[in-house]
Homo-oligomer: A and B are copies of this chain.
Amino acid sequence: MKETNETNDLQKAGLKATLPRLKILKFLESTAVRHLSAEDVYKAMLDGGDEVGLATIYRVLTQFESAGLVTRHHFEGGHSVFELNEGKHHDHIVCVKCGKVEEFYDETIEERQHLIADKNGFSMTDHALTIYGICSGCQ
């Protein structure tokens, strides 16, 4: 009967509570760095003594994305960056020097996006807004 939070989260998402999935989910919940590439996750888990194949990392992150447990972003360069989904939508501001990522939410921008979609006859399904700049520490 004793079930961990993570086991429950996975089952609620319709995913078997396998060891790799549990390890990845726990890692995402515990890491201080919120925005990570698949390779980042792979290496961090290696360092933590939890070896999971890279292909599995990719598969699981994609499954987590479909299940709404994580979000995927494409910051410049094109490759995927993942973060644990904490439920609150936000966009990003990225330092082009050091890679630092800050999060923000702006109601006005969100509203305008819907207006623009409507004006163009689109029913909006999603959006991606990333501001690039140089952070205070880098200038």
Contact = CB atoms under 8 A, between A and B. Distances in A.
Interface of A: 74, 76-80, 93, 95-96, 102, 104, 106, 108-109, 112-113, 116-117, 119-136, 139
Contacts of A130: 127-129
Residue in A80, A120, A123 with the greatest tally of chain B CB atoms within 10 Å:
A120
* Identical subunits present: 2
Contacts of A113: 109, 129, 131
Given A79-B78, A116-B106, A123 B128 contact: no
A38 to B, nearest CB: 13
10 contacts: A93-B117, A104-B116, A106-B112, A113-B131, A122-B135, A122-B136, A124-B131, A125-B133, A126-B131, A128-B132
